[in-house]
Amino acid sequence: MAKLNVAIIPGNGAGGDIRSCNWYGWLQDELQPGIECRLRDMPDPYYAKSSVWLPFMQKSLRCDESTVVVGHSSGAVAALRYAETHRVRGIILVSAYLSDLGDSVEAASGYFDGEWNWQAISSNSSFIVQFASKDDHLVPFSEQLKVTAELRQHGEVDLQEFEDRNHFMQSAFPELAHIIRARTQT
């Protein structure tokens, strides 16, 4: 197997210098030099269209069977859609959802135009971890649990439940770094 790497897929709206947004740059610094961590400014950062982001994940972030894809918010949705057709080492979802939440920007992204292939997502990843917070002001906890329920029908998902992390927009995320190391034994 090729050398392990991590690709961080941010949420939409995270424009500008992605390293300074939320915990993204912190995680990259925390994991390196032991794990290659791919973090790039995303094209189309506001709408996060699937037609733009999924090819970018393949070509620029080189997400493959050696990659742990860490997706936050709409980045989690992109990670799920990517794993429908691509083998990855693992998927870590942060504030994941499976509908457009009644939001016109989400509806325009293209991620919710077709049925989900939960079996392929589970089969194309050796592990899935999901971080969810009950007080998330953007993604209802019930929506996050729907993702868990769908995934568990076809495989295992490790649900990391929190009471007080809101939309996981803190500047550090030690639990995430710990999970990556534990799941990849580095």
Instruction: Given the residues 50, 72, 73, 86, select the one marked as catalytic.
Output: 73
Main-chain phi, psi angles of 144, to 5 degrees: -65, -40
pLDDT at residue 163 greater than cutoff 60: yes
Q: Are strands 5-9 and 67-72 parallel, antiparallel or unpaired?
A: parallel
Ordered DSSP codes for 57-126: HHHTS---TTEEEEEETHHHHHHHHHHTTS-BSEEEEES--SS-TT-HHHHHTSTTSS---HHHHHHTBS
CATH number of the structural domain spanning residue 58 = 3.40.50.1820
> pLDDT, tens digit, for every residue of 45-100?
999 999 999 999 999 999 999 999 999 999 999 999 999 999 999 999 999 999 99
pTM above 0.85, yes or no: yes
Dist CA 57 CA 52 (whole Å): 9
Per the prediction, the chain carries an average pLDDT of 95
Query: What are the tokens at 15?
Result: 């424009």
Instruction: Report the SS3 class of residue 26.
Output: helix
Instruction: Specify the pLDDT at position 33.
Output: 87
pLDDT band with cut points at 50, 70 and 90 for residue 150? very high
pLDDT band with cut points at 50, 70 and 90 for residue 144? very high
The percentage of residues in the chain with a pLDDT greater than 70, rounded to a whole number, is 97
What does R_g of the chain's alpha carbons equal in angstroms?
15
Q: Known catalytic residue: 167?
A: yes
Instruction: Given the residues 44, 126, 158, 167, select the one marked as catalytic.
Output: 167
Q: Known catalytic residue: 95?
A: no
**Domain range for 103:** 5-133+140-184
Q: Average pLDDT, stretch 110-136?
A: 97
Q: Known catalytic residue: 41?
A: no
pLDDT at residue 1 greater than cutoff 70: no
Instruction: Given the residues 86, 109, 133, 136, select the one marked as catalytic.
Output: 136
Q: Number of folded domains in the chain?
A: 1
Nearest-5° Cα angle at 41, 36 to 42: 105
pLDDT at residue 111 greater than cutoff 60: yes
Element (H, E) at 29: helix 24-31
